[in-house]
Amino acid sequence: MLMISFEKALEIIIDSARTIGSERVAMLDSLNRILAEDVISDLDMPPFNKSAMDGFACRRSDLGNAMKVIETIPAGKVPQFRVSEGECSRIMTGAMVPDGADTVIMVEQTELAGDEKIRFTGSKTQTNIAYKAEDVKVGDVLLHKGQLISSSHIAIMAAAGANNPLVSVQPKVAILSTGDELVEPHQKPATGQIRNSNSWQLMAQVRAMGCIPHYMGIIPDAEKETEEAIARELAQSHLVLLTGGISMGEYDFVPNSMRSNKVEVLFQKVAVKPGRPTLFGVTDKSCVIGLPGNPVSSFINFELFVKPLLFKMMGYHYKPVELSLPMAENFTRKKADRLEWLPVDITTEGKVLPVTYHGSAHIYAVSISKALLRVEIGTFELQKEELVNVRPF
């Protein structure tokens, strides 16, 4: 099968992603999920002219005069009296400004002026009133369908009474790692074995973006087991994520298992480094991504391909942040036939510094990096101070 470009692979993935429905959840449970409806304000905000200070509500034209205090208005109470000339009402922050008053003077800028009277002692004052509907009007769209919900959005939902927002269903992602050499993290690898880090890394990546990982364990490098595992997971997951076994080695059974499971393979090789062997296939109900066995490739290709796919399934148009920053030192490479993503640090001066990196098995390099540096096809070297594109994690 042909090797395709990064952009083409991404386009194929996005085009074949299907949205998977929505559900109502408790407001707080919508955190980190994708909103599936607009949130519209059922109120003006503020809902009434509101005092921004503890002080006295009065008429600006009375600032030079002693004023009679006619009532006290705590927050949450409706004023009983209109403020007329020579009068004021003691008022608390957040309370309704009474009719007739156009200004609230701070308590710190007043003094007693005889029985039940006060006087303004300042030289000037602001109005200190937050006006009805100055922030939001009834019917304003406050949050939009398709946006990712963060903590600041929860306050908006609370204020607008969106107690049970409609959010996208979280894709269920089956995770499988192939390899006879793999043992689980709690085990000590015998000679020739290594610990399975990919599955755990992928579960963390899936969970961090608000989807549901289902760990299905290690599958041996055997055709029958691989076929059966894929068949089982395709039937019950929105996406099956596999690592390892997708190259051309004698023990790489994943590509054949696609055919026997009637998965239409849309690509199998992408011109990226690391992670050239990356497989994407679809059935009428689900899809499969096969990631390379090396943990750095698996990590990076999740970021590049799996994240946009899962977000699209949830109705979110994901655009990763890319920054343009200067290189901290020179970088060279011998081959430039693939788009390369390198783990890099970002220095305190905001410069891009490649970390020590021994290749795609070197997962420690990713753990100490802050971003991925994008090195374009045809680029053999990057000069110190040259502006480059990086994607922060």
Can you give the binding site for ligand AMP, defined by CB under 6 A?
177, 179, 181-182, 194, 196-199, 243-245, 247, 249, 292-295, 361
**Residue 179 binding Mg ion, by CB under 5 A:** yes
CA 371 – CA 327 distance, rounded (Å): 13
Instruction: State the binding partner of 55 from Mg ion, ligand AMP, none, CB within 5 to 8 A by kind.
Output: none
Instruction: State the binding partner of 197 from ligand AMP, Mg ion, none, CB within 5 to 8 A by kind.
Output: ligand AMP
**Residue 290 binding Mg ion, by CB under 5 A:** no
Question: Tokens 């890099």 appear where?
Answer: 344
Instruction: State the binding partner of 34 from ligand AMP, Mg ion, none, CB within 5 to 8 A by kind.
Output: none
Which amino acid is residue 108, in one-letter code?
E
* Three-state SS at 62: helix
Least separation in angstroms between residue 288's CB and ligand AMP is 15
Q: Between 132 and 362, name the residue whose CB sits nearer to ligand AMP.
A: 362
Instruction: State the binding partner of 110 from Mg ion, ligand AMP, none, CB within 5 to 8 A by kind.
Output: none
Q: Between 47 and 359, name the residue whose CB sits nearer to ligand AMP.
A: 359
**Residue 292 binding Mg ion, by CB under 5 A:** no
CA 104 – CA 54 distance, rounded (Å): 8
CA separation, residue 196 to residues 92, 206, 252 (Å): 61, 17, 17
Task: Kindly state the DSSP code that residue 33 receives in the 8-state scheme.
Answer: S
CA 99 – CA 80 distance, rounded (Å): 9
CA separation, residue 265 to residues 13, 36, 249 (Å): 11, 30, 18
Q: Between 20 and 361, name the residue whose CB sits nearer to ligand AMP.
A: 361
Q: Between 165 and 179, name the residue whose CB sits nearer to ligand AMP.
A: 179
Q: For residue 273, report the phi and psi dihedrals to the nearest 5 degrees.
A: -135, 125
Least separation in angstroms between residue 249's CB and Mg ion is 7
Question: Tokens 């679809």 appear where?
Answer: 282
Instruction: State the binding partner of 198 from ligand AMP, Mg ion, none, CB within 5 to 8 A by kind.
Output: ligand AMP
